[in-house]
Chain A
Amino acid sequence: MDNTRRKFLKIAGAAALAGIGAPALVKLNSTAAFASSEPAAGHGSAAGGHGEVVAATGVRLGMVVDMRKFAETPEMLDAAIAACYKVHNIPHFPDRKNEIKWIWKAPYANVFPEQEVLHKSEMAKSKPFAVLCNHCDNPSCVKACPTKATFVQPENGIVAMDFHRCIGCRFCMAACPYGARSFNWQDPRPFITSYNPDFPTRMRGVVEKCNFCGERLALGLEPACVEACQGSGAMVFGDLNDPDSEIRKVLDKEFTIQRNPAAGTRPSVYYIV
């Protein structure tokens, strides 16, 4: 191969990369797992304006679960779970097969199986961890859904469900790397202990999960679980894209971990262990 031709191919290849490959490359750079909350301003221009720039102004809601606080007052976690169940008309099924879970308790080893170690701290060994939907930035459930019944709300980053549209194929349940989704195998109403008249129940045959209390946020309220923690800081909720928010201050100060970051879904829930 002569020199000029090789040069030409090189240039052509680089151009093709910049033109076609750039969006994917830029996305990967700008939003790596742990930097998932960072707005990607600046990265896009480096690749010649081809990048998909995440708006710095967009709201991206997230949560920090401070396990130290929950370890001090374990009943607070129970209160948070109870609050969620009450507000959202979640049924209590006696058997594991039918369980509907929005926020629940599980040991460290189950919540962080990829980060399981032999010699754990006392907390990781014995305390139950809060588990809920991660409201990922790149949710695999949304990718899988064939009807857009589950989708990311562009206004706040919540991974929401439209129960009216769900066909019950359960592809999202197979796709979620966090086991955050539940299916109504039968009519849930007989298993609901008390109704919240401000929220619907679900019908059989649809998938459900934590909605970050979208309906409460609209009224200016905090999520029910956060409210149940009564300002203890066990659950901090806020805009991950706002550098002055309380949640960002906590994240700047404390070392946090996330569930299965290797899945590339970029969760919005952080844990202080």
Chain B
Amino acid sequence: MIEKVLKGKSTYWTWLAVLGTFIAIGAICYIRQYKFGLGLTGMSRDVSWGLYISQFTFLVGVAAGGLMLVLPYYVHDYKAFGRITILGEFLAISALIMCLMFIMADLGQPLRGLNVIFFATPHSMLFWDMCVLWGYLILNCLCGWVILTAERKQVHPPKWIYIFVYISIPFAVSIHTVTAMLYCGLPGRHFWLSAIIAPRFLASAFAAGPSLIVLACLVMRRFANFDAGKEAIQKLTTIIMYAAIINTFFFLLEFFVGYYSEMPGHIHSLEYLFFGLEHDGHVYNNLVPFMWTATAFSFTGLGILFYMKIAKVFDYRLVGIAAALIFFSLWADKGLGFVFGGFVPNPLNEVMEYIPTANEIGITLGIWATGFFILTLLYKIAVGVEHEIEA
């Protein structure tokens, strides 16, 4: 099946070339960072995790989001997802590869990465995160490949593969739960120390993953002659809508807890993210525009989806806009605000803002481009197989 990536139209090659350029830039930036150290990033003693870990956190969600296709199709036998379930599995693969690359980019001593296995430490959540991420990656590679091969031969997939498909369902939940546990088990960080982090992560994941799949479907409908089917897209928008509403609800609960209890530790990070935190006569607010844009996007996206459901209209452009708005808002929420906000103020009640450097952004874009590169190749294979069956 791999040969399918080698034949494509000029748009396909142009797209790969664009991604390739970003990958090359990212690689150069990484070599610079590897030689000098993480001092080339904007991270500091006070904000000790930056873009890498925040992108990692967000992308674990995108990977887990594939569950919203696997679950209806395999457990509830929802036939409309037949054509696109493979897209969910392949999205998970590329998102997880990005996650692992972001973790490697973030390590101060990347060559010692295997110490996590040599000196396995079960009381560290990072150890478990490694286990579930690799586990979910392998499961998705296995299931995606075996099922697509069977599909191509137009036979039923072998029975044994369903065992792995069913195992992958709790695994999808576990990857994001364990990622939430990296944060919500730390005693000194009020913003993260909340039992709702894991459910909120999952809700946001179940909106972000399907949003990206919807966008990919629309792109492929336009450029690759692949139609996911109106029913499937409509069902996905319903899933996105409910998941995004639940995510917003959970987030508002955090606001209530903070601002009603008025406990300083519970307010500070929210204050910093949404209104700017005043400290020693200076207002720190570099994330405020992002957070309000995200809020506006989130509500606009949800509004569009409501309108389509209530007025019973369906328009691919509107679907695309809504999915893009919601995807961006969830990215800003989890891929920026959640991680950076948790470090403000620091344990000594001081404020240090984090601004990523150009080199760091180069690496980040490079890793995203790598993920999309892999995603494009995988989707090319999936769509090629579909076309082959139809022909």
* Residues on A facing B (Cβ under 8 Å): 96-99, 101, 106, 109-111, 113, 131, 140, 143-149, 165-171, 173-179, 182-187, 204-207, 260, 263-265
Is the CB of B121 closer than 8 A to any CB of chain A? Answer: yes
Is the CB of B44 closer than 8 A to any CB of chain A? Answer: yes
**Contact between chains at A165 and B119 (CB < 8 Å):** yes
Which 8 pairs of residues, A with B, have the shortest CB-CB distance? A168-B108, A177-B188, A205-B108, A186-B39, A185-B39, A204-B37, A146-B126, A179-B347
* CB contact between B116 and one of A98, A167, A207 (< 8 Å): that residue: A167
Please, which residue of chain A has its CB at the minimum distance from the CB of B116?
Answer: A146
Interface of B is mostly: loop
Is the CB of B109 closer than 8 A to any CB of chain A? Answer: yes
**Contact between chains at B347 and A178 (CB < 8 Å):** yes
**Contact between chains at B48 and A170 (CB < 8 Å):** yes
Q: How far is the CA of A176 from the CA of B48 in the complex (A)?
A: 12
Besides A170-B49, A174-B342, 14 more A-B contacts (Cβ < 8 Å) are A110-B348, A113-B347, A146-B121, A147-B119, A167-B115, A169-B108, A177-B186, A177-B189, A179-B348, A183-B48, A186-B37, A207-B108, A260-B188, A263-B188
Is the CB of B293 closer than 8 A to any CB of chain A? Answer: no
**Contact between chains at B349 and A110 (CB < 8 Å):** yes
Is the CB of B19 closer than 8 A to any CB of chain A? Answer: no
Q: Specify which chain B residues have a CB less than 8 angstroms from the CB of A179 in the assembled complex.
A: 45-46, 346-348
**Contact between chains at B45 and A98 (CB < 8 Å):** yes
CB distance from B83 to the nearest CB of A (A): 40
CB distance from B41 to the nearest CB of A (A): 8
CB-CB contacts below 8 Å: B259-303 with A: 264
CB distance from A94 to the nearest CB of B (A): 13
Q: How far is the CA of A144 from the CA of B128 in the complex (A)?
A: 11
CB distance from A90 to the nearest CB of B (A): 13
Is the CB of B182 closer than 8 A to any CB of chain A? Answer: yes
Contact mask B179-202 → A, CB, 8 Å, 1/0? 000110111110000000000000
CB distance from A155 to the nearest CB of B (A): 20
Please, which residue of chain A has its CB at the minimum distance from the CB of B127?
Answer: A146
Contact mask B122-156 → A, CB, 8 Å, 1/0? 01111100100000000000000000000000000
Is the CB of B77 closer than 8 A to any CB of chain A? Answer: no
Is the CB of B326 closer than 8 A to any CB of chain A? Answer: no
Q: How far is the CA of A171 from the CA of B107 in the complex (A)?
A: 10
**Contact between chains at A182 and B116 (CB < 8 Å):** no
A-B contact pairs, 26 of them (CB 8 A): A96-B44, A98-B44, A110-B350, A111-B348, A113-B264, A143-B185, A144-B125, A144-B186, A146-B124, A148-B121, A165-B112, A166-B108, A167-B108, A169-B107, A169-B126, A171-B126, A174-B48, A174-B49, A174-B189, A178-B347, A178-B348, A185-B39, A185-B44, A186-B39, A207-B108, A264-B187
Please, which residue of chain A has its CB at the minimum distance from the CB of B183?
Answer: A174
Q: How far is the CA of A271 from the CA of B126 in the complex (A)?
A: 34
Interface of A is mostly: loop
Q: Specify which chain B residues have a CB less than 8 angstroms from the CB of A144 in the assembled complex.
A: 124-126, 186
Please, which residue of chain A has its CB at the minimum distance from the CB of B352?
Answer: A96
**Contact between chains at B126 and A184 (CB < 8 Å):** no
Q: How far is the CA of A99 from the CA of B185 in the complex (A)?
A: 26
**Contact between chains at A169 and B106 (CB < 8 Å):** yes
Is the CB of B38 closer than 8 A to any CB of chain A? Answer: yes
Q: Specify which chain A residues have a CB less than 8 angstroms from the CB of B349 in the assembled complex.
A: 109-110, 113
Given the known interface contacts A147-B115, A147-B116, A169-B126, the answer about A205 and B37 at a Cβ–Cβ threshold of 8 Å is yes
Q: How far is the CA of A147 from the CA of B116 in the complex (A)?
A: 5
Please, which residue of chain B has its CB at the minimum distance from the CB of A263?
Answer: B187
Q: Specify which chain B residues have a CB less than 8 angstroms from the CB of A187 in the assembled complex.
A: 37
CB distance from A226 to the nearest CB of B (A): 23
* CB contact between B187 and one of A109, A148, A166, A177 (< 8 Å): that residue: A177
Q: How far is the CA of A96 from the CA of B41 in the complex (A)?
A: 14
Is the CB of B160 closer than 8 A to any CB of chain A? Answer: no
Is the CB of B356 closer than 8 A to any CB of chain A? Answer: no
Is the CB of B113 closer than 8 A to any CB of chain A? Answer: yes
Q: Specify which chain A residues have a CB less than 8 angstroms from the CB of B36 in the assembled complex.
A: 186, 204
**Contact between chains at B107 and A99 (CB < 8 Å):** no
**Contact between chains at A101 and B45 (CB < 8 Å):** yes
**Contact between chains at B38 and A183 (CB < 8 Å):** yes
**Contact between chains at A131 and B348 (CB < 8 Å):** yes
* CB contact between A97 and one of B45, B49, B118 (< 8 Å): that residue: B45
Q: Specify which chain A residues have a CB less than 8 angstroms from the CB of B342 in the assembled complex.
A: 174
Q: How far is the CA of A184 from the CA of B48 in the complex (A)?
A: 11
CB distance from B43 to the nearest CB of A (A): 7
* CB contact between A171 and one of B45, B46, B182 (< 8 Å): that residue: B182
Q: Specify which chain B residues have a CB less than 8 angstroms from the CB of A143 in the assembled complex.
A: 123-124, 185
Q: Specify which chain B residues have a CB less than 8 angstroms from the CB of A101 in the assembled complex.
A: 45
CB distance from B26 to the nearest CB of A (A): 20
